[in-house]
Amino acid sequence: MSDERSANEPTQEAHAQSGEMSAEAILLDGVRARYEGAFEALFQRYYQRIYAVLYRLVGDEADDLAQEVFLKLYYCPPQRAESELAAWLYRVATNLGYNALRARKRWESRRDALGAEAHGADWQAEAPSPEAWVERQEEQRHVRRALARLKKREAIILVLRYSDLSYRQIADVLGVAPGSVGTLLARAERAFERAWLHRRAR
């Protein structure tokens, strides 16, 4: 019995470290044990943040991909040795989002080529709608197409930064030193500017 208590002591000490992290570690243990209440608590805590990041990448697909992130959390939660839960969720979300973005880019390229060949340049004209809404949708489409031209890490770091994550949080998601985030972000911004100008020049 004393051996059992000794084996359990590190986990109890880890859970007792500090308020929020302690509660989160306990909830994550509950998810691993398939406790629905623990999963629901983490879902409520993180869903909006994950959805917001995904929306910047994929727009209307964000809800479907956010659900996929949390299904992965439920069925394949991170192990104790991995980084904090927020970083894990952002990493899963941005990987899914980037892959969806690249898939959409390929599909739109094929659609545009086939549509232009069959119907001419104006075949995709928008149905009548308020001008400001149309312009906003077009601008977002150009942003996502430019992001899809970037390397994976470049696209992810831009989306995370403009979702208001700190340099330290971004470093945790990417698995890099916090001091390197500024340099990586500057490179990504330059790459995005080149991709943006390329899209606008077409």
Indicate the helix (H) or strand (E) that contains 109.
helix 85-119
pLDDT tens over the chain, length 202 residues: 444 444 444 444 444 444 455 788 899 999 999 999 999 999 999 999 999 999 999 988 999 999 999 999 999 999 865 558 999 999 999 999 999 988 876 545 444 443 444 444 443 444 445 666 566 677 778 888 889 999 999 999 999 999 999 999 999 999 999 999 999 999 999 999 998 887 655 5
Residue 201 backbone phi and psi in degrees, to 5: -80, -15
Determine contact, residues 28/78, Cβ cutoff 8 Å: yes
User: Cβ-count burial of 47 within 10 angstroms (0-12 exposed, 13-18 middle, 19+ buried)?
Assistant: middle
Domain ranges for the chain, please list them. 16-201
Three-class DSSP category at 106 = helix
pLDDT for 143:
85
With helix as H, strand as E and coil as C, how does 134-187 read? HHHHHHHHHHHHHHHCCCHHHHHHHHHHCCCCCHHHHHHHHCCCHHHHHHHHHH
> 154-157 — which CB contacts under 8 Å span 24+ positions?
154/184, 154/187, 154/188, 154/191, 154/192, 155/57, 155/98, 155/101, 155/188, 156/94, 156/95, 156/98, 157/181, 157/184, 157/185, 157/188
pLDDT in tens, 96-125: 999 998 887 654 544 444 344 444 444 344
CB atoms within 10 A of CB 116: 13
Quote the pLDDT of residue 1: 45
